[in-house]
């Protein structure tokens, strides 16, 4: 099941995308519930039992928003979690980073206010950073909360998956050593186009691709993850209660601008497209 948040007739709605991808059937929510996007649906529990309205609307007549337009708190993000990506940055400024990717994941966060929709513009922070990079990522959406979740039980807590672009100001990231500021500028987290429920997608075996201006830059399988999905859920819940609707971005594949020789950062007018098999695509212009 694909669950989307969208604008129609000047109001926010949450709906289920038809199998052919042409229409949306709204979820019957109380007034105001749709303001939180898919969070309202996640709170209802089993997506197979959603109360749906009888009418539907064409996908062409709506504007898709991020499935969770404003997450309830910071997005958990994982750094250098693909073997090939860790290797491509091993000769960069990260070469002296003391973290050992064989032992523990690198986890940082992005503020919830940086989330934008799957086709929204991303604003380049002129005068603040000149090294803006893209990161194509599969993101986990938690359905059932918990603390100290075991690896064995982790997948029972997954509601579904979506796509994010973990846009990064590399110079700011390096300047502060801690990554949050360079990851959290306004509009730096395009998300969407919807959430695909866990019963319809095996996140451990899918393909993540990213293009810049039509040029394929990133192409990887999630089988290349250093820390798999259960390990990430186990790690993020150690001593921290995860809540329904929490988002965990699983890391990006090789092919980022920083890893190219010479580095190729984004500029005004560039378009980044990210596609994940079984989910769909997001495409954002940098302005």
pLDDT tens-digit map of 151-200: 999 999 999 999 999 999 999 998 887 788 999 999 999 999 999 999 99
The residue extents of the domains of the chain are 2-65, 75-285
* pTM, entire model: 0.94
| Choice among 24-33, 88-97, 149-158, 238-247 with the minimum mean pLDDT | 88-97
Strands 2-8 and 63-65: antiparallel
Residue 92: predicted pLDDT: 58
Provide the mean pLDDT of the chain.
94
Query: What's the mean pLDDT in 121-128?
Result: 96
Nearest to 253 by CA among 133, 140, 169: 133
Q: How confident is the model at residue 98 (pLDDT cuts 50, 70, 90)?
A: very low
Q: How far apart are CA 177 and CA 209, in angstroms?
A: 28
Distance, in Å, from the CA atom of 259 to the CA atom of 2, rounded to the nearest integer, reads 34
At 222-262, the pLDDT tens digits run 999 999 999 999 999 999 999 999 999 999 999 999 999 99
Q: Which CATH number fits domain 75-285: 3.40.50.720, 3.30.565.10, 3.40.30.10, 3.90.850.10?
A: 3.90.850.10
Q: What is the pLDDT of residues 189-231, one digit of tens each?
A: 999 999 999 999 999 999 999 999 999 999 999 999 999 999 9
Query: Percent of the chain scored above 70 by pLDDT?
Result: 94
User: To 5 degrees, how large is the angle CA 171–CA 221–CA 187?
Assistant: 35
Helix (H, G, I), strand (E, B) or coil at 102: coil
């Amino acid at each position: 099941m694909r669950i989307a948040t969208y604008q129609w007739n000047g109001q926010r709605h949450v709906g289920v995308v038809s199998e052919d991808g042409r229409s949306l059937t709204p979820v019957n929510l109380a007034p105001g519930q749709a303001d939180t996007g898919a969070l309202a649906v996640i709170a209802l529990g089993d997506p197979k039992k959603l109360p749906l309205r009888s009418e539907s609307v064409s996908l062409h007549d709506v504007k898709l928003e991020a499935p969770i337009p404003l997450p309830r708190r910071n997005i958990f993000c994982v750094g250098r979690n693909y073997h090939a990506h860790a290797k491509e940055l091993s000769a960069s400024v990260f070469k002296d980073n003391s973290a050992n990717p064989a032992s523990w994941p690198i986890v940082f966060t992005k503020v919830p206010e940086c989330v934008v929709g799957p086709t929204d513009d991303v604003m380049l922070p002129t005068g603040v950073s000149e090294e803006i990079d893209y990161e194509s990522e599969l993101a986990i959406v938690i359905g059932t909360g918990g603390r100290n979740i075991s690896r064995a039980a982790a997948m029972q807590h997954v509601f579904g998956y979506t796509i994010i672009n973990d846009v990064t100001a590399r110079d700011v990231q390096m300047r502060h050593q801690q990554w949050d500021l360079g990851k959290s500028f306004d509009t730096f987290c395009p998300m969407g186009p919807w959430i695909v429920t866990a019963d319809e997608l095996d996140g451990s075996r899918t393909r993540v691709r990213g293009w810049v201006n039509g040029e394929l830059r990133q192409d990887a399988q999630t089988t290349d993850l250093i820390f798999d999905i259960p390990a990430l859920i186990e790690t993020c819940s150690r001593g921290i209660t995860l809540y329904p609707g929490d988002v965990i971005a699983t890391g990006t594949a090789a092919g980022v601008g920083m890893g190219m020789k010479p580095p190729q950062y984004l500029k005004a007018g560039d378009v980044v497209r990210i596609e994940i098999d079984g989910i769909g695509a997001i495409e954002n212009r940098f302005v």
